[in-house]
Amino acid sequence: MPKKYRRNSVGDYNYIYFKTDVLSFVNVWTEFQKMSMEYYELDFSHYVSALSQSWDAQLKMTE
């Protein structure tokens, strides 16, 4: 383990885990949002679920 990540408590490991988890989620979210805007011209941030966005994408593609 790199020297800067050497910690003593479980809370420290928990902090590192959550930080990397959030950063990974942000990376996936931004890539999905770019793909959604590129292919469907729909911003996923405006939808409650993937189902509602896929419904709008379907309606847009059938027009």
Q: 7 near 16, Cβ under 8 Å? A: yes
Question: How many CB atoms sit inside 10 A of residue 33's CB?
Answer: 14
CA dihedral sign, ordered 31, 37, 43, 47: negative
Residue 34 has a pLDDT of 94
Rounded alpha-carbon distances, angstroms, from residue 18 to 10, 24, 26, 36:
12, 10, 12, 26
Residue 31 has a pLDDT of 94
Residue 3 has a pLDDT of 63
For residue range 1-32, what is the model confidence (pLDDT) as tens digits?
556 666 678 888 888 899 999 999 999 999 99
The residue range of the domain holding 21 is: 3-62
Instruction: Inform me whether the pLDDT recorded for 35 exceeds 80.
Output: yes
Residue 58 has a pLDDT of 93
State the total domains in the chain: 1
